[in-house]
Amino acid sequence: MLKGGLVVNASGPVELYFESGNFLTEIWVDSISLQPFTCEEWNSHQEKSIQKVRKGKVKFRAIDEQGRPISNATISIKQIRPDFPFGCAINNFILEHPAYEKWFTSRFKYTVFENELKWTTTEPYQRGYVNYTLPDSLLRFTKSHGLTARGHTVLWGSRGGNPI
């Protein structure tokens, strides 16, 4: 999945160009919206999205058999199977350390690559010379363990993270 934002400080016709050396690659576009917005509007949207998805209030109440509250109760939670869509970032370290691999795959079913799919990592030195060796290895790893992986933002809002 490619996901991200692009800010262009110009008006007029625009073309967005994708290129892949793999002819089996398909690029599907869905839900495109081109509209101006302020930084305040963007931050407000992000905060609302986070509150809906990630910040749900959970209230625990310890009671006895008669339904009376138990004062000073200690509650602990243990994840007994990795069915909840809960994940963690990985990098090439996991490919070289079997103990970490075992620990990670026994707990998570979702992951994101830390830097391996960022543009500055796959095309770091010269325009047109890309190297997907590391992300390909991580994708093979995730597939072999039944993990769902996603990439990072393709285009960043800052010039330092985008290609030349």
The closest alpha carbon to 93, from 67, 115, 118, belongs to 115
Residues 6+ positions from 139 with CB-CB distance below 8 Å: 149
The closest alpha carbon to 139, from 129, 128, 149, belongs to 149
Using an 8 Å Cβ cutoff, are 110 and 85 in contact? Answer: yes
Q: Determine if the pTM surpasses 0.95.
A: no
Q: What is the tens place of the pLDDT at every residue in 23-71? A: 566 666 655 556 666 778 777 777 776 665 555 567 788 888 998 989 8
Q: What is the tens place of the pLDDT at every residue in 86-114? A: 788 999 999 999 999 999 999 888 899 98
Is the per-residue pLDDT at 139 higher than 90? yes
Domain boundaries, the chain: 39-161
Q: For the residues 62-84, what does the mean pLDDT come to?
A: 81
Q: What is the side-by-side strand order in the sheet with 148-150?
A: 87-90, 110-113, 148-150
